[in-house]
Amino acid sequence: MKINNLKINGFGKLKNKEIELSDGINIIYGENESGKSSILKFISSILYGTSKNKNGKEISDFDKYKPWKTEEFSGKIDYTLKNGEKFEVYREFKKKNPIIYNSNKEDISKTFKIDKNKGIDFFTEQTGIDEETFLNTAITEQEGIKLSTSSQNSIIQKISNFVSTGDDNISFKKSMDKLNKRQLEEIGTERSSQKPINIVNNKIYKLLEEKRNLETYKDSIYDNSIEKEQLKLEEQDEMIKKELLNEIRLKLDNNRVKSAEINFNKNLENDYVQKIKELNYKVCNDKAEESLEEVHSKNYYILILVFIIAFIILMIFNPYKLINFVILLPVIYILYRKNKEEKKIKEKFKNRNIEKEKIINEIEVLNRNKKEQTELVEEKEKKFSIELEKENKVLTEKYIKYLDLGYIEDVLSKDYNDILKEIQNKENRLNTIKFKLHTMENNEREIANKLDSLSMIEEEIRDAEEEKQELLSINKSFNIAKECLEKANKLVKESISPRFTDNLCDIISKISNNRYTNIVLSDTDGLDVEIENGSYVPVSRLSVGTIDQMYISLRLSVLEEITDENMPIIFDEAFAYFDNERLKNILKYLSINFKNNQIIIFTCSKREEEVLDELGLDYKIQNIS
């Protein structure tokens, strides 16, 4: 790939800046703070976009490079790929997606895949290199003018990382330690406590306990529902019975009037019977008195007869005639009294016969009235019986589909007071049923609330199980990542590391005039270099320039491994610690080993020009000061 042209409309402090680049070596010269780093950032931003996320920095790249003095925040890049295809990319940095044109100036943006976060990731699709890899390989930024011991150690660590993992920012040991630490923090183990997997296991255990306790209410609500259904059926049955009893009561209320009328007629009949009985008794008493008077009259006659016989005997046998006549005086008196009484008795009999005649006539009238009342009572009772039978039949037909025939016949046979008692019993039973139903409904609501809690707990269990499965999945991912990291590390050590180490040995040999010829990678000590006497010393004991050159060379070696595209190689003040000899060696090395790559050097020094002129190498210079 070759960058042909950069057109910067507005980016950082740069405005209306256009830079033409050529094949081979390009030097972009400028004083410090002249915008060299902004141009470098413009290249990566127009190819990959600029992020509004801080990513741990104090300010995001978007805010950092957004121009202060113009609204224009855009630019264009013109580049040609290894296969000869030419593209122009215009990007407004405030928008997610750029516009990509082919050599015919046709908009081909929609032909590339769109990442939902990054937008059109065209450059990765074209070269196979994402932004992070591009920054870690194709671009070597200034490591700092003043390198402290810690900074040197950092660079050495990056070189070790490069050799062991293929990425200068990735240490196998640190990566493994971080994975183990994150795995422990984010997942946990069976022996750990208060870690996510232990917390979720405890949560599931407690929720299952709660679920087991609450599930007992399921049987309770089932039994409750059966009893409730039975009570409702009984309530319905009792209400129907009460309704029947009320209709019977109403019927009896109506029939009581009719019964009262019949009873009134019966009472009249009884009165007639009683009066007839009394009158007959009176007639009988009169006859007894007549008989008694007849007997009394006969006794008078017998007494007179006795006196007469006694007189006759005395007249025959008693010589004193005068005394005999004295005996006749009582007889005469008796006869007088008898005659007088006979007149009274005759008068009395006469009056009595008249009275008796009246009584007999009255008895006849009473008998006729009694007969009429009897017939009236019989007629009313017959009619009442028919009506009663009809009413009972209507009620039976009305309730036979709801109630047992025996019960209907039983209550129809009850009297009014029994019906009232039965109605009261039904009301009491209905009140009892309603109270029970109300109690059961309250229980149901309480159980329903508990079962709602059960459903919530079941949902929490599902969520916890999902959380556990997610944790197990993440844990599996950690294990796979560690396994892959170990395999990758083994692969790097077996294949890539030897090649890098050989390349590093070749570079060290060339730049040190065969002073250092052998580099060894140690898992514990990092990089060691063999010195002239055959012993190995840590790379940290080498000069800063030597360490920097090793670092640059390894990045370039990685770039050759990861893509078939001849990517441009960009240096930003990367040779600050190189002496003239090392600078000459590295530029010569680049011109020979990377002659098919476009090389762009950002510098504030004239040393690169002088060395290139001394070596007789072609280059193009752009002054942005």
Judge whether 325 and 249 are in contact, CB under 8 Å: no
pLDDT value for 269: 72
What does the longest C-alpha to C-alpha distance in the chain come to? 232
pLDDT value for 614: 94
Q: What mean pLDDT do residues 135-144 have?
A: 72
CA atoms within 13 A on the CB side of 115: 14
pLDDT value for 161: 58
Judge whether 21 and 98 are in contact, CB under 8 Å: no
Q: What mean pLDDT do residues 15-33 have?
A: 93
Q: What mean pLDDT do residues 208-229 have?
A: 77
Query: Does residue 155 register a pLDDT over 70?
Result: no
Mean of pLDDT over the chain: 80
Q: Output 376 or 603, whichever has higher pLDDT.
A: 603
pLDDT level of residue 156 (50, 70, 90 thresholds): very low
Q: Which two tokens stand for residue 481?
A: 């990542």
pLDDT level of residue 147 (50, 70, 90 thresholds): very low
β-bridge partners, 572: 602
d(CA 357, CA 366): 14
Cα three-residue angle 449-455-461, rounded to 5 degrees: 135
d(CA 307, CA 290): 26
pLDDT level of residue 131 (50, 70, 90 thresholds): confident
Considering Cα of 140, then 144, then 149, then 150, what sign does the dihedral take? Answer: negative
Model pLDDT for residues 451-496, shown as the tens digit of each residue: 777 778 888 888 888 888 888 888 888 888 888 877 777 766 666 5
Query: Does residue 404 register a pLDDT over 50?
Result: yes
Written as one string, the DSSP assignment of 18-71 is EEE--SSEEEEE--TTSSHHHHHHHHHHHHH------TTSSS-HHHHHS-SS-S
pTM of this prediction? 0.50
Model pLDDT for residues 428-441, shown as the tens digit of each residue: 999 999 998 888 88
pLDDT level of residue 145 (50, 70, 90 thresholds): very low
Which of 302-311, 358-367, 390-399, 571-580 has the least mean pLDDT?
Answer: 302-311
Domain residue extents for the chain: 1-129+563-625, 199-417
Helices and strands, number each (H, E), in the chain = 14, 15
Residue with tokens 């590390």: 489
Phi, psi of 167 (to 5 degrees): -135, 125
Best-predicted range by mean pLDDT among 262-271, 585-594, 599-608? 599-608
Judge whether 590 and 601 are in contact, CB under 8 Å: no
pLDDT value for 534: 78
Pairing of strands 74-80, 86-92: antiparallel
Q: What mean pLDDT do residues 327-349 have?
A: 66
CATH of domain 1-129+563-625: 3.40.50.300
Query: Does residue 295 register a pLDDT over 60?
Result: no
Judge whether 530 and 520 are in contact, CB under 8 Å: yes
pLDDT level of residue 307 (50, 70, 90 thresholds): low
Model pLDDT for residues 218-227, shown as the tens digit of each residue: 667 667 778 8
pLDDT value for 211: 80
Give me the helices (H) in 80-171, please.
Answer: 122-127, 131-137, 149-165
Closest CA to 245 of 382, 430, 386, 385: 430
pLDDT value for 154: 45
Query: Does residue 321 register a pLDDT over 60?
Result: no
Query: Does residue 108 register a pLDDT over 90?
Result: yes
Best-predicted range by mean pLDDT among 255-259, 419-423, 513-517? 419-423
Judge whether 574 and 558 are in contact, CB under 8 Å: no
Q: Which two tokens stand for residue 540?
A: 């940290």
Q: Which two tokens stand for residue 255?
A: 């029939």
Judge whether 583 and 548 are in contact, CB under 8 Å: no
pLDDT value for 367: 77
d(CA 3, CA 22): 8
Q: Give how far the C-alpha of residue 169 lies from the chain's centroid of Cα atoms, to the nearest Å.
A: 47
Which of 9-13, 534-538, 568-572 has the least mean pLDDT?
Answer: 534-538
Which of 141-155, 400-414, 497-511 has the least mean pLDDT?
Answer: 141-155
Judge whether 574 and 142 are in contact, CB under 8 Å: yes
pLDDT value for 102: 95
d(CA 340, CA 332): 12
pLDDT value for 385: 80
pLDDT level of residue 144 (50, 70, 90 thresholds): very low
pLDDT value for 370: 75
- The one-letter code for the residue type at 550 is M
Q: Output 311 or 531, whichever has higher pLDDT.
A: 531
